[in-house]
Amino acid sequence: MQSRRRTIETGEIESNLVLVVDDSRLQRSILRASLKKWGYRVAEVSSGDEALAFCENKQPDLVISDWMMPGMDGIEFCRRFKALDTERFGYFILLTSKSDKSEIAQGLDAGADDFLTKPVSSAELRARLVAGERILNMERELIRKNELVESTLGELKLLYDKIDNDLIEAKQLQQSLVRERYKDFGTASISLMLQSSGHVGGDLVGYFPINEQEIGLFAIDVSGHGISSALMTARLAGYMSAASKEQNIAIEKGPDGAFFPIAPSEVIARLNNLVQSEMTTEHYFTLVYATLHLKTGKVIASQAGHPHPLVQRQNGEVEAVGAGGLPVGLVPDAHYEQFDICLNAGDRLIIFSDGVPECMSESGAFFEDESLVSFMKNWKAKRGPSLLDGLLFELDSFAGDRDFSDDISAILLEFQGGSV
């Protein structure tokens, strides 16, 4: 019979402690002899009050208590024993000469785990102890596993907190890629919006000067979410950096030292070949890349799987533009079309990621392009960052309590006209 346990505090093996509670010295002596023979440690007291005082200082593994005792009887002692604030479970066996079912129910209601009828049979006592120790062993194993789970959860929380802090820093770094949210070029202005659905995302919007007459602007949406998408976005930002024209994939330097733009369709084709040949990734991305001539208002653009940009004319009318095209990174040597847009004074162009039309309400409805067109008409008088802030507010109201399921980004180009 298993009468030993490993202590939680020290890990040492020791025999289970049995507390015998009986006002009969003879009965205690009989029980003590049997228990010691079976390898138990034994403590004995003669009353319920003594037993309770003992248990408040030392937790027995098993208790064998008489029902009928002067002062505090076995039922009251059992109830108060079970109410003690202890970390371990104690198995309680009640000794009784009672056999009435209502009285047995009274004992169970007080918290007794088992019963033995006097006079106590040695074989039956041993069997009940074995049953009790099975319960104790299961309880100890459960405690051990719970402690292991708690320890593991603690370690995971520390790891999660570290990752969370790293992601917060990564988000700040990613946001820093969009250095200026608004830029006035005199004849035109550019406003940017970037809202990640998580800590970091796969959207990026930006612009860069090409020469005194022209600027480039781009909107990128990398597939997926999270860290890997953000890393790819950061790498793409390096290819279209405003910091170094020599390293910008969309700009070439002529023999005279002047910089000029590469055709947008060719820029996207180059990016597609780079992804296919130099990046080991399953990600792809959608893109709109365009150049603007600051004096004439002419926009030359190419679209690669990104939603169709919208042009809003000075009179408020809105039209979709673009030639569609395959996302970048899916098909080797893909061909991309380009298209021209002529902006007059007061016209504007908005390029947005699919997180805008696919913003979902609590009922599962999408915001869709029609809602964006209505927004542009209703907010015709708003300009620059105020318009993009209004769009974000509109999307947040539409989503209700639902979080954005995708990154939301947009670039707004407004043409005022005049001289550069």
pLDDT single digits (tens) 186-244: 999 999 998 877 656 678 899 999 999 999 999 999 887 767 777 788 788 888 887 78
Within a domain: 67: yes
Tokens of 371: 């809602």
Assess whether 139 and 193 both reside in one domain: no
Res. 46 pLDDT band, cuts 50 70 90: very high
List helix spans (H) across 41-121: 48-57, 74-82, 101-110
Assess whether 319 and 191 both reside in one domain: yes
pLDDT at 8 over 50: no
Question: Are 323 and 337 in contact, with CB atoms under 8 Å apart?
Answer: yes
pLDDT at 208: 93
Within a domain: 162: no
pLDDT at 9: 47
Within a domain: 167: no
Distance, CA of 118 to chain centre: 60
Assess whether 218 and 114 both reside in one domain: no
Distance, CA of 285 to chain centre: 24
Q: Which of 133, 126, 140, 112 is nearest to 15 (CA)?
A: 133
**What mean pLDDT do residues 9-36 have?**
85
Assess whether 240 and 381 both reside in one domain: yes
CATH code, domain carrying 327: 3.60.40.10
Measured CA to CA, the distance from residue 416 to residue 418 in angstroms comes to: 7
Instruction: Provide the 10 A C-beta neighbour count for residue 235.
Output: 15
Assess whether 291 and 330 both reside in one domain: yes
pLDDT at 238: 82
Q: What percent of the chain has pLDDT over 70?
A: 90
CA distances from 49 to 54, 76, 188, 196 (A): 9, 10, 91, 66
Tokens of 278: 């130099």
pLDDT at 79: 93
Within a domain: 405: yes
Assess whether 251 and 355 both reside in one domain: yes
Within a domain: 90: yes
pLDDT at 173: 61
**What mean pLDDT do residues 377-393 have?**
94
pLDDT at 273 over 80: yes
Assess whether 132 and 183 both reside in one domain: no
Question: Are 338 and 302 in contact, with CB atoms under 8 Å apart?
Answer: yes
pLDDT at 207: 92
Measured CA to CA, the distance from residue 348 to residue 280 in angstroms comes to: 38
Within a domain: 154: no
**What mean pLDDT do residues 375-404 have?**
92
pLDDT at 297 over 90: yes
Measured CA to CA, the distance from residue 22 to residue 110 in angstroms comes to: 18
Question: Are 311 and 319 in contact, with CB atoms under 8 Å apart?
Answer: yes
pLDDT at 75: 92
Within a domain: 137: yes
φ/ψ of 366, rounded to 5, equals -95, 150
Which structural domain range is residue 268 located in? 177-415
pLDDT at 183: 93
**What mean pLDDT do residues 320-346 have?**
93
pLDDT at 174: 56
pTM for the whole thing?
Answer: 0.63
pLDDT at 176 over 70: no
Look up tokens 């130099």; give the residue: 278
For the chain, what is the mean pLDDT?
Answer: 87
**What mean pLDDT do residues 170-190 have?**
76
Helices vs. strands in the chain: H and E counts, helices first: 9, 20
Last residue of a domain, one of 147, 167, 190: 147
pLDDT at 236: 84
Measured CA to CA, the distance from residue 54 to residue 92 in angstroms comes to: 15
pLDDT at 382: 93
Question: Are 86 and 109 in contact, with CB atoms under 8 Å apart?
Answer: no
Assess whether 142 and 181 both reside in one domain: no
pLDDT at 291 over 50: yes
Assess whether 134 and 223 both reside in one domain: no
φ/ψ of 198, rounded to 5, equals -125, -155
Last residue of a domain, one of 94, 125, 147: 147
Instruction: Provide the 10 A C-beta neighbour count for residue 171.
Output: 16
**What mean pLDDT do residues 62-85 have?**
92
CATH code, domain carrying 49: 3.40.50.2300
pLDDT at 283: 83
Residue type, 20: V
CA distances from 259 to 10, 207, 291, 297 (A): 76, 16, 13, 19
Assess whether 131 and 271 both reside in one domain: no
Q: What percent of the chain has pLDDT over 90?
A: 56
Assess whether 258 and 307 both reside in one domain: yes
Handedness of CA 104, 106, 108, 110 (dihedral sign): negative
Q: Which residues pair with 351 in a beta bridge?
A: 411
Within a domain: 108: yes
**What mean pLDDT do residues 265-278 have?**
91
Instruction: Please give the radius of gyration of the chain, using alpha carbons only, rounded to the nearest integer.
Output: 39
* Domain total in the chain: 2
Assess whether 188 and 309 both reside in one domain: yes
Express each pLDDT in 344-360 by its tens digit.
999 999 999 999 999 99
Q: How many angstroms separate the first and last alpha carbons of the chain?
A: 96
